[in-house]
């Protein structure tokens, strides 16, 4: 589905144009076309392939989706794939944006991304002095936006892990908190996957042999690169903490089990000791003076209760109960 | 066993030819021969070695099998080894394809691979404009096909791990689920082995100093390379999840054991408390008023049952029973 | 907030100057300006951007904070970000210093750093022969100071781990010591984060293609680099020890639990054996000679006590009690 | 001890020669000498040092043994150290071969290797067209032979691990199987040590700047390199499986312990319930009708046995017994 | 403290000289001065700095100590830091040697090293043909000596780990053996720290761009490098074994605990069964024929004892007792 197709000249928005009349604007100097698509039909992509002379393999990638984050050069133009992550409830959903960048056009194709990029367009149009850099600047703006969307996810996962920490250190680990740790591990892998491969791809745009179309904007792409590095570091730290939490949790469970054992043993003692006393007075010896006492029975009961009260406080003091 | 031997010119299929008359076609310009063999006899390979001038060490490798995935250059021709993985039941079987690629020939030798490559041939023949690129394009088509076969295996293993996850988080881990995790680890190693080494080998065909025979097709080999990268990433993630599942499972087992201990303790209490009551009324004191009561016995029994009913609900409420 | 703004010539302090009159001193040869800011307002940074011709992206970074440690080149000048770590109680707080270094100016912007850098200024001014090297030397002095502040933290964490070690090897691991290990892991990650990225950034200043502004001072930056390497090594070691401590601790807990089990079993035996004896003499056989003995009862009690005393010493000798 | 000293010309064996008359043959073109030594005396090596002009440090290495696998260049000649692994029972013994390779000589010095290299010599002499390549080809043949000896060890260790797997998954892990896993880890480290360092050393002979003496034989050394890569991969996989087996085993042990606990609890119940019944009928109430019944006693016994039979089948059905 | 200061010419010892008259000898061709210091005062280093023109930062490093192993170039001279490890009891103490090497001098400064380097001097003076290489050869001899001192430590740690293995596989792991494993981990980290960094530093002297002062002696430094590689490999192996031992130990402890549980259960059964029998004969049924038998009591006791004897042998056979 075509979201929009707009021509720009000298950094300023000219007008919305029909998708099949772009060649007219491409003929003008200092002019470029910015096309946004969402879950396009194969026919739409086919039409663009002809209109802009896109490479067959890149179009195939954008059509199929399921690509890894990457920057592929095809002659003077490049094809970039970005993973867009969004929280839906406590799950991470992953969408994809394929971006074709040529000297006079930028085409973004998003799939499975609920929140579009209209804010990128709006902000870019407010800074014509930057937008004058052309399609490569738009690519930077898109990447910057995609990377900025990763940070709230990091924050969400950081909160989740803090939550689990609190639960396990408070001393009652349930299956739930272990499942949460396992789920966190999975989500961090998704985030790491997206961020580390994008980092590698962005590296190609900020240093070394930069594609000609992006040269002059290395400082901007380095900025994105720095954000991704920081993000990767944060993901690494969280992964380390999750791994540590899992192994620490096992120790806590062992302590917890040990405490249960002690509590059970204490209760067992509270039953076993009076049972022993009762056993003693159940013996059939002919000569057991207490047996004949009028207060023998209450005395025995008092002994039982007395011992239990004593034990109860001993156990409580020792932290067993 | 010879599967087929076909001559192509300008991307179009000419005719099936006997294996010993290939030199006639090799003399024509823009013509190449595509030979497919399956578990060949040493004599068959020997004949091909003479016919096409293959390198002795490459022929030896193709004859013995058991090679690692690789791309070896021998002068103007290359020898490629691919591992083909197939699910048979829940096991992975591993076959091998050795491919000799020269300027005018491509020879594939498969061993232990049940499903052949006739679909690669069929699809290639439908796209003469691509097949015109010659043997290197056929190599690409073969590699693409082999790599495409890895993805269903990944899907199968992903399902298997999801299955195990469900079992262990539902709270009754058996030996079976642990053995399944261990088995998964093994299968992932096989897959990783095949994919990572093929990745490395494919890297030589898509960038840097590409063998002359493959130059001009780098974009295609980069496509295979990208798929392999994605595959490797997926395998890495699954490996991480299996490792995490194994360690998380230990915590779950500890919780499970703790639950069993509590349930056993609850039942023990249900027996021990009435035993204590019985012990009390088994004492031989001369003066125990209840003993003489007509309803003493039913009363004692009621106490026992009453206490047990009370304890039972307490334990149930505490989640011990 | 402006902390200070001082002009230097030939390594000697000239005078404090208002921030908007620096151009006068920048015109003189062999003269540079050293500006220190603390949590500046956006307007203050904006003013400096114009005054010194700072790069927009660098100013933005310094304004937002939350950058990773890095060295970015912008033409002839560089922008450096350092993380400053300080212990507050047993927690590590992390501040940031952004440093703009140009041929004739050095501007440090600190955020969330409680202890300033006036001692760096004081020491530098006492060594005019070194300060004559200009802004790059001041950068070295700042980095050296920041790195020196990492070492007391290492010492603190080393003490903490030694403390936990003592606790867990003394045989009574509590939740507290496990939580301490987990906390240590987190603090080490913060320290490692700061040190490893600063190491990488410093590497750019001490070897390979050094930014022109720092050339001639490589030996000094190599010194900082060496300190950071040593620090990283120390952090790695501590991390290894924490990981080992966590896994060793689990074994110690298992031993501890085993000891509790044995102690409980010993106490259970001390109750169960006399209960058995009592049971025996509670049997109703018509012919039980002991029953009729006058000293039967004391004898039975003596047996019970005797057996318990015997068991008690056996258990004590076996280390169960 | 001198094993043999033979002169070759044009790939053909000339004759056995005394060790001190080699210079005569070294003067002939296309002629080389192949010397084999076993656990030589220092004096023997000293003599060779003079005869062939070997480098002092290389001779010292060959004399002391205990070197790591390596390829050292000394001017036009090279010194190679290989580790030879042999199974003796279920242990791996490690021997060493030092090989001096010069333009006209090859000297192999083996230490602690029970099986010699006479088969290498025999096979080489049957292929004079290959042996014509000179000492470097003999080096290849020796390396190929040494590497071939690693594979049976891999097979042996693979069998050992399969054996342990079977033991631990059958549900009765003993100390023995854990010790076996630990032992396997150790043996795999020895194998990995030998193979990975030899891989690195062989890498120098197959690509990049190859020592002149080996140039022209890169394809052969690449073949050895490929075998070593495959071997390393196999060792890595086995190491991963051993590590996984160790961690999985802990889960299995926890399950095993849980099963023991349940079985013990079941037996405890089979004793405790009749004890409770006996306790009830041991109460001294004046009015207990069953007590007076003639069949009271058999009835009570029947209840006890009946309850136990019922429990027994319940427990069996629940898999506790 | 000055240990010695000797002048050498053409590899031969000339004479001991006062430290302030070295310039006289430095003027002669083919002459160098070898100075050895131990825990020097700042003033002594200051004097040397002037006498030999040492670099301020290097002198500062040598004065402070606490450096990491490294090779720093300062113009034509180099400054090398080595860590010297010595066993004191079962602990590793770490000393440091800083070595200044210039074209005509070598100055070694040791701190916290109990055993000096007089044997290096003695051996070097016996080989004037090697000592003729000048200060770089002395550096080699010192490094070789320092590295040689690492090997007995490896042997010691290997023995320690073998000792712990024996203890844990014999089936009674104590806190002591776990603490020993933890201690081993720490010592291995110290050794690894020293060896791996020295390896890296030595790498600079044996290949690539070698400092001019060391060129011509690469073969010798490669020898040191090889020893360090072997050492590193050995440390890696030991670390792997320690890690494996820790995780294997946990399984052994679980088995051990399971055995304790079984033994306790067996003893519990030996008490509980006779208690049940006693309970049965404690029932008050009017018609219990055995009760009236003269031999009822002995019979009951025999049953109790008989059952226990039977159980005892069953348990023993099952390996529970």
SS (H, E, C) chain D: CEEEEEEEECCEEEEECCHHHHHHHHCCCCEEEEEEEECCCHHHHHHHHHHHCCCHHHHHHHHHCCCCCEEEEECCEEEEEEEEEEEECCEEEEEEEEEEEECCEEEEEEECCCCCCHHHHHHHHCCHHHHCCCHHHHHHHHHHHHHHCHHHHHHHHHHHHHHHHHHHHCCCCCHHHHHHHHHHHHHHHHHHHHHHHHHHHHHHHHCCCCCHHHCCCHHHHHHHHHHHHHHHHHHHHHHHHHHHHHHHHHHHHHHHHHHHHHHHHHHHHHHHHHHHHHHHCCCCCCCCHHHHCCCHHHHHHHHHHHHHHHHHHHHHHCCCC
Residue B19's SS3 state is helix
- C248 and E CB contact within 8 Å: yes
Look up the pTM and report it: 0.88
Q: Residue A291: pLDDT band by 50, 70, 90 thresholds?
A: confident
Q: Residue E290: pLDDT band by 50, 70, 90 thresholds?
A: confident
Q: What is the mean pLDDT of residues D292-319?
A: 91
**Residue C7, token pair as written in the block:** 């002009």
Q: What is the mean pLDDT of residues B157-172?
A: 90
Q: How far is CA D76 from CA D73, D105, D131, D215, in A?
A: 7, 12, 20, 12
What is the pLDDT of chain C when averaged over all its residues?
Answer: 90
With CA atoms as reference, the chain E residue closest to D258 would be E258
With CA atoms as reference, the chain B residue closest to D249 would be B178
DSSP string over E170-203: TT---HHHHHHHHHHHHHHHHHHHHHHHHHHHHH
Give the model's pLDDT for residue C160.
Answer: 93
Q: Residue E317: pLDDT band by 50, 70, 90 thresholds?
A: very high
Q: What is the mean pLDDT of residues A59-83?
A: 89
Contact by Cβ (8 Å): D181, D246: yes
Instruction: Give the C-alpha separation, A65 to A81, whole Å.
Output: 9
Give the model's pLDDT for residue E310.
Answer: 94
Percent of chain B with pLDDT over 70: 100
In the DSSP assignment, the letter for residue C294 is T
Interface contact B275-D273, CB threshold 8 A? no
Give the model's pLDDT for residue D184.
Answer: 95
- D270 and E CB contact within 8 Å: no
With CA atoms as reference, the chain D residue closest to E218 would be D74
Q: What is the pLDDT of residues B97-134, one digit of tens each?
A: 999 999 999 999 999 998 889 899 999 999 888 899 99
Residues 6+ away with beta carbon under 8 Å from B270: B308, B311, B312
Interstrand relation of A77-88 and C105-111 (parallel, antiparallel or unpaired): unpaired
DSSP string over E46-83: HHHHHHHT--HHHHHHHHH--PPSEEEEETTEEEEEEE
Q: How far is CA B29 from CA B53, B54, B105, in A?
A: 18, 20, 12
Interface contact C251-E249, CB threshold 8 A? yes
Contact by Cβ (8 Å): C282, A282: yes
Interface contact B174-D255, CB threshold 8 A? yes
**Runs of H (alpha helix) within chain C:** 22-26, 42-52, 56-64, 118-126, 128-131, 135-148, 150-169, 175-206, 218-281, 289-292, 296-317
Interface contact E280-D278, CB threshold 8 A? yes
Q: Residue B33: pLDDT band by 50, 70, 90 thresholds?
A: very high
Within 8 A of E57 by CB-CB distance, chain C residues are 219-220, 223
ipTM value, please give it.
Answer: 0.84
Give the model's pLDDT for residue E80.
Answer: 95
Q: Is the pLDDT of residue C173 over 80?
A: no
Q: What is the pLDDT of residues A213-252, one digit of tens each?
A: 888 898 899 989 999 999 999 999 999 999 999 999 999 9
Q: What is the mean pLDDT of residues E216-243?
A: 92
**Residue C25, token pair as written in the block:** 């001193």
Percent of chain E with pLDDT over 70: 100
Q: Is the pLDDT of residue B208 over 80?
A: no
Interstrand relation of C105-111 and E105-111 (parallel, antiparallel or unpaired): unpaired
Q: What is the mean pLDDT of residues C253-276?
A: 90
Give the model's pLDDT for residue B172.
Answer: 73
Instruction: Give the C-alpha separation, B4 to A302, whole Å.
Output: 100
- D179 and E CB contact within 8 Å: yes
Give the residue from A256, A99, A245 showing the smallest Cα distance to A177.
A245
**Residue D149, token pair as written in the block:** 């000896």
Q: Which of residues 46-65 of B touch D (CB under 8 A)?
A: 55, 57, 61
**Residue E25, token pair as written in the block:** 């000898």
Q: What is the pLDDT of residues C23-51, one digit of tens each?
A: 888 888 889 999 999 999 988 899 888 88
Contact by Cβ (8 Å): D200, D120: no
Could you tell me the strand order of the sheet in which C70-74 lies?
A: C12-16, C2-9, C31-38, C105-111, C91-102, C77-88, C70-74
Within 8 A of C243 by CB-CB distance, chain A residues are 244
Give the model's pLDDT for residue B153.
Answer: 94
Q: Residue C106: pLDDT band by 50, 70, 90 thresholds?
A: very high
Alpha carbon of D77: minimum distance to chain E alpha carbons (Å): 13
Q: What is the pLDDT of residues D257-287, one digit of tens each?
A: 888 888 888 999 999 999 999 999 999 988 8
Q: Is the pLDDT of residue D208 over 80?
A: no
Give the model's pLDDT for residue B6.
Answer: 93
- B275 and D CB contact within 8 Å: yes
Q: Is the pLDDT of residue E228 over 90?
A: yes
Contact by Cβ (8 Å): D195, D232: yes
Q: What is the mean pLDDT of residues B52-73?
A: 88
- C-beta neighbour count of B158 within 10 angstroms: 14
Q: Is the pLDDT of residue B283 over 80?
A: yes
- Report the half-sphere exposure of D235 (CA within 13 A, side-chain side): 23
Interface contact A182-B165, CB threshold 8 A? yes
Contact by Cβ (8 Å): C200, C233: no
Interface contact D275-E275, CB threshold 8 A? yes
H or E element in which residue A142 lies: helix A135-148
Instruction: Give the C-alpha separation, A97 to A116, whole Å.
Output: 10
Q: Is the pLDDT of residue E173 over 80?
A: no
Give the model's pLDDT for residue B258.
Answer: 87
Give the model's pLDDT for residue C198.
Answer: 93
Instruction: Give the C-alpha separation, C97 to C113, whole Å.
Output: 8
Residues 6+ away with beta carbon under 8 Å from A77: A54, A55, A100, A101, A102, A103, A213
- C265 and A CB contact within 8 Å: no
What is the pLDDT of chain B when averaged over all its residues?
Answer: 90
Q: What is the mean pLDDT of residues E61-73?
A: 88
Q: What is the mean pLDDT of residues C284-292?
A: 87
Give the model's pLDDT for residue C271.
Answer: 93
Residues 6+ away with beta carbon under 8 Å from E81: E61, E67, E68, E69, E70, E96, E97, E98, E99
Q: What is the pLDDT of residues D174-198, one digit of tens each?
A: 888 999 999 999 999 999 988 999 9
Give the residue from E220, E222, E241 showing the smallest Cα distance to E230.
E222
Alpha carbon of C92: minimum distance to chain E alpha carbons (Å): 25
Name residue, tokens 């299968």: B187
Mutate which of A189, A245, A268 to test chain B, going by most B C-beta atoms within 10 A?
A189
Instruction: Give the C-alpha separation, A59 to A79, whole Å.
Output: 9
Q: Is the pLDDT of residue B320 over 90?
A: no
With CA atoms as reference, the chain C residue closest to A229 would be C68
What is the pLDDT of chain E when averaged over all its residues?
Answer: 90
Q: What is the mean pLDDT of residues A201-214?
A: 87
Q: Which of A233, A261, A286 sits opposite C260 (nearest CB)?
A: A261
Contact by Cβ (8 Å): B233, A193: yes
Give the residue from A118, A95, A91, A154 showing the smallest Cα distance to A34.
A118
Lowest mean pLDDT among B163-167, C174-178, C181-185, E186-190: C174-178
Q: What is the pLDDT of residues A84-143, one digit of tens each?
A: 999 888 899 999 999 999 999 999 999 999 888 989 999 999 988 889 999 999 999 999
Give the model's pLDDT for residue E165.
Answer: 93
A73: β partners? A78
């Amino acid at each position: 589905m075509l979201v929009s197709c707009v021509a720009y000249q000298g950094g300023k928005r000219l007008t919305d144009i029909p998708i099949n009349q772009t060649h007219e604007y491409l003929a003008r100097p200092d002019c470029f076309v910015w096309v946004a698509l969402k879950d396009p039909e194969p026919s739409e992509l086919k039409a663009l392939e002809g209109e802009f002379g896109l490479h067959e393999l890149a179009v195939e990638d954008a059509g199929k989706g399921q690509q890894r984050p990457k920057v592929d050069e095809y002659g003077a133009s490049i094809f970039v794939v970005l993973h867009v992550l969004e929280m839906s409830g406590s799950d991470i959903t992953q969408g994809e944006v394929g971006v074709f960048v040529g000297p006079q056009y930028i085409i973004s194709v998003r799939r499975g991304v609920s929140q579009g990029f209209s804010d990128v367009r709006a902000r870019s149009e407010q800074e014509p002095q930057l937008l004058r850099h052309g399609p490569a600047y738009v690519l930077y703006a898109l990447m910057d936006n995609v990377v900025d969307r990763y940070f709230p996810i990091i924050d969400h996962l950081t909160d989740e892990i803090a939550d689990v920490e609190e639960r396990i250190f408070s001393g009652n680990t349930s299956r739930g908190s272990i499942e949460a740790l396992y789920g966190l591990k999975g989500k961090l892998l998704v985030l790491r996957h997206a961020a580390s491969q994008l980092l590698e791809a962005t590296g190609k745009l900020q240093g070394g042999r930069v594609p000609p179309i992006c040269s002059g904007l290395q400082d901007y792409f380095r900025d994105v690169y720095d954000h991704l590095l920081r993000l990767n570091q944060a993901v690494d730290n969280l992964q380390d903490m999750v791994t540590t939490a899992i192994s620490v949790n096992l120790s806590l469970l062992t302590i917890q089990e040990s405490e249960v054992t002690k509590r059970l043993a204490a209760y067992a003692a509270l039953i076993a000791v009076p049972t022993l006393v009762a056993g003693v007075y159940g013996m059939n010896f002919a000569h057991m003076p207490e047996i004949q006492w009028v207060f023998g029975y209450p005395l025995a009961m008092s002994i039982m209760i007395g011992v239990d009260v004593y034990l109860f406080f001993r156990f409580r003091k020792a932290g067993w109960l």
